[in-house]
Amino acid sequence: MDQIKNYKGSGRYNVSDFDFEKLFSEYQNPFAVQNEKDSKFINDPGHGIQPTITKEIISENQIKFEIFYQPFTLDTPHFLDEESFNKFIKYEKKRYHQVIDKNERKAHFNYTKIMYGSINLYSDMLFMRPANCRPPYKLRILAEIFEKPRHFDKVALVNTEWSNEFQHWIDRCASVLLQIRPLIKDQGWSFVAKKPRDAIVYKFWEFIKKDFNVSIEFLENTLYYKADLLLTPCELPWENVRKLPEIKEFLLRFIFENDSYEQFRNPNPENIVYLPRVNTLNKRSVLNNEEVENYLRKRFGDKFQIFSHKEHQDLKELVKYFSNAKIVIGLHGGAFYNLLFSLSYPIVIEFLHTAHLKTDAIFYWIAHTTGCEYWRDYAIFEGDNFYIPIDRLEKVLNKALNEVYQTDSLQPNLI
């Protein structure tokens, strides 16, 4: 962090006094998942084992804690054919998986990017708005000369990339927050975060304020901050897949507070939910969206539903909606984050666009780690948009339904 430097602070804190190893070992996780179906990690050899933590003294004002998480294994996605499976091996192995067992269809995760993180703890620091919010050079110089920095006693920087948006607050910010929670046990901490773009993110932060017992300051006009104690979890892996079931539990606790959500579990979900992408700002639209909708409507009749965020603003209704989904289908996109609101275990069919083959595993992880049956196929790329091949969609549906329900029909008398 090149924008951090010492200042003559209070001297109240000695960073070497902080025993993060002990805090982690004594931590009782309130978001631990108890239901075996809700997490693929319940029976995993590494489940419940605390990460290994090492400490490196950088200076009298800085300590670096390195965190090593337990490796784990997931089933690979389901595929229509070997050609699609080989695409998965070719691209995913390079980025995420150390070993993919082709015969057993297992992906063994022990890649450093996912399993390793670090936290820096500083005392008596002057720091600038983090790099991805950095103001122009002249403004920085003027601020350094004239601005009175905002002062904190104990502060943690939790402004992960894109965390002002609903979907990326879930996969990036929530993951980091759950990883540093053992360290925020005593009172007096503040969080510095990005100002939310989406209204729901404000609600998330209000819940964090109460649950973590912290204050929240959003990055706006202030350029410089002073801290007697500064925690920077920015190097933690937001891609820590082990945290996904906990994030789901966290979201449900946020939505229902002290109420039980078990009433929304549906052992016999009925709906086939399609997640459309049409005229999207980032141009990843489904060019034959109408054709896809007509096919699914003809095949599944009144059980077919088209999901719309605008029609599902109430979060409890969102849980109810996705808990009644037997199948969720769509092109890769943010709407798949709604799987975290489902209390059933639907078949998930994601069409991945080949332009993003190397990077987009998040919905595979969400689906597989939270109990869903995840299927992957590939859309046809055309310019900045995509076609979902109807013939392949039909074949994937047939194969998925046959494997899960031993039928390619969803008539009630056949289930």
Chain segment 284-293, per-residue pLDDT in tens: 889 999 999 9
Which is higher by pLDDT, 366 or 4? 366
Summarize the chain as % helix, strand, coil (round to 5): 40, 25, 35
At residue 147, the pLDDT reads: 55
Q: Which residue has the tokens 């060019």?
A: 287
Coil, strand or helix: which one is 85?
A: helix
pLDDT digits (tens, 9 = 90+) for 252-263: 988 998 788 888
The CATH classification of domain 262-414, taken from the options 1.10.287, 3.40.50, 2.30.30, 3.10.450: 3.40.50
Per the CB < 8 A criterion, the answer to whether 350 and 385 are in contact is no
CA distance linking residue 71 with residue 46, whole number of Å = 7
Query: In whole angstroms, what is the distance from residue 85 CA to residue 345 CA?
Result: 23
Q: What does the alpha-carbon distance between residue 83 and residue 392 come to, in Å, rounded to a whole number?
A: 13
More confident residue, 43 or 52: 52
Q: Which of 47-61, 76-90, 285-299 has the lowest mean pLDDT?
A: 47-61
User: What mean pLDDT comes out for the span 194-206?
Assistant: 87
pTM across the whole model: 0.85
The first and second tokens of residue 354, run together, are 């080949």
Q: Provide mean pLDDT across the span 37-44.
A: 68
Q: CA-to-CA distance for 364 and 220, rounded, in angstroms? A: 35
Q: How confident is the model at residue 309 (pLDDT cuts 50, 70, 90)?
A: confident
Task: Find the mean pLDDT for residues 329-344.
Answer: 92
pLDDT of residue 132: 43
Extents of the domains making up the chain:
4-71+112-255, 262-414
pLDDT at 276 over 90: yes
Which of 277-286, 314-323, 359-368 shows the lowest mean pLDDT across its residues?
277-286
Q: How far apart are CA 21 and CA 67, in angstroms?
A: 10
| Strands of 144-240, DSSP E | 150-157, 189-194, 215-219, 224-232
pLDDT over 80 (residue 166): yes
The pLDDT > 70 percentage for the chain reads: 79
Q: Summarize the confidence of residues 212-224 as an average pLDDT.
A: 78
C-alpha 82/C-alpha 283 separation (Å) is 30
Q: What percent of the chain has pLDDT over 90?
A: 24
Burial of residue 204 (CB within 10 Å: 0-12, 13-18, 19+) is buried
Indicate the helix (H) or strand (E) that contains 25: helix 20-26
Confidence grade of residue 413 (pLDDT, cut at 50, 70, 90): very low
What integer pLDDT is reported at residue 242 of this predicted model?
78
How many angstroms separate the CA atoms of 309 and 170, rounded?
A: 16
- To the nearest whole number, what is the mean pLDDT of the chain? 80
The single residue listed with the structure tokens 């992957």 is 376
Map residue 208 onto helix, strand or coil.
Answer: helix
Check residues 305 and 163 and name the one with the higher pLDDT.
305
Helices (H), 39-158: 82-95, 112-115, 137-146
Instruction: Average the pLDDT over 113-120 and give the result.
Output: 75
Predicted pLDDT at 409: 57
